Amino acid sequence: MNTERSIFSQVMDHLPLHEFRKCVKRHHGHYKVRAFSCLDQFLCMAFAQLTYRESLRDIEVCLRAVQPKLYHMGIGSRVSRSTLADANEKRDWRIYADFAQILIAKAKELYAHEEFGVALEATAYALDSTTIDLCLSLFPWARFRETKGAVKLHTLLNLRGSIPEFIYISDGKLHDVRVLDILIPESGSFYVMDRGYLDYSRLYTIHQAGAFFVTRAKSNFGFRRLYSHRVDKSTGLKSDQTVVLTGYYAKKDYPEKLRRIRYLDSETEKIFVFLTNNFILPSLTIARLFKARWRIELFFKWIKQHLRIKAFYGTSSNAVKTQIWIAISVYVLVAILKKRLRLEQSLYTILQVLSVTLLEKIPILSALQEVNYDNEPADYGKQLLLFD
């Protein structure tokens, strides 16, 4: 690779810029824009994500310090915090949302055969949300409580490679279960959800679409057992039953049979009760599939720790959504980079190396392959399962 180019440029080589231009054109991103294009905005924000910049002033100072290098980084305009703030305020956030979906589609292809600990040929998704707290006085549009602001990041995570395939950003008041009204189920796929998404009419919609769900039953779950199936209790399974709902409204919302599985987790000594509309998979596979749902918890924890989505560079709804979508794009871009370059390092290590070498003019493989693995912090072990 050409050593006259910075590592930042080599990373951005993996962006499909022709697709980016289509997104800009679709949403009229360059309407009345003379300088500082949408690509300039994206690259500046991506630089801020990769180098952990704290504010617009921080971004401005750092990029002005390397002004002669900006052209070779792909940034064609002089960077100022007012220009970047104005772009975040006015450029349609859907440009970056659409582009993130394009990157997600490319990552999905690369991780299509990734193992996630469950013997399953079908696609499996985990659905959950995380709340990002905001100051209500600065973000009055994001009212959550009487004196508190927040936005919710509703995410559908592909368990193969931990790729977020669907993201919906709402105010903090939107109940999780209402996201099922927006989601279009994919026939033959599995949707793993916690009991916050337990709504029989919406689960029946998933069933009618030919998809499968796995969720937890609530303590007041009313049912009538039709059949019981043999289970190997040495694996932690307690029972595997075919049931129907008994509540008047519940039976009306979900008139079909359900599968009820009781499982004892040996690690926590807790009994979990799972509900699913799949009667083919072994009951132990269903239990393991639900356990794999914790990958989405690790995903939320990871992006909050390593990407700039808790402190924002702007206070408008458009600026917040723009920053979140560009952060997701950077996350997926690094995942694509890891796969294409066949890197063995964890995503954490790759980001840490990139943060201090972005402007170095050396081959990217030289920077990433000379890492001393013994120096990686041991307490990131579980989080690194995202891309190990």
Residue with tokens 């209402």: 178
Do the bridges between strand 124-134 and strand 148-158 make them parallel or antiparallel, or are there none, so unpaired? antiparallel
Average pLDDT over residues 21-35: 92
Domain(s) labelled CATH 3.30.1370 in the chain stretch across 195-292
Residue with tokens 């936005």: 151
CA–CA distances in Å: residue 154 to residues 89, 111, 177, 311, 363: 23, 22, 10, 18, 37
For 135-177, how does the pLDDT look when each residue is reduced to its tens digit (9 = 90+)? 888 999 998 888 889 999 999 999 998 899 999 999 888 999 9
**Cα angle 309, 312, 317; round to 5:** 100
Average pLDDT over residues 109-138: 90
CATH ID of 195-292, from 3.30.1370, 2.40.360, 3.40.1620, 3.30.200: 3.30.1370
For 259-281, how does the pLDDT look when each residue is reduced to its tens digit (9 = 90+)? 999 999 888 889 999 999 999 99
Nearest to 42 by CA among 7, 92, 1, 3: 92
* pTM check: above 0.75: yes
- State whether residue 207 is helix, strand or coil: helix
Q: Is 262 left (phi over 0), alpha (psi -120 to 50) or beta?
A: beta
Query: pLDDT category, 379, cuts 50, 70, 90?
Result: very low
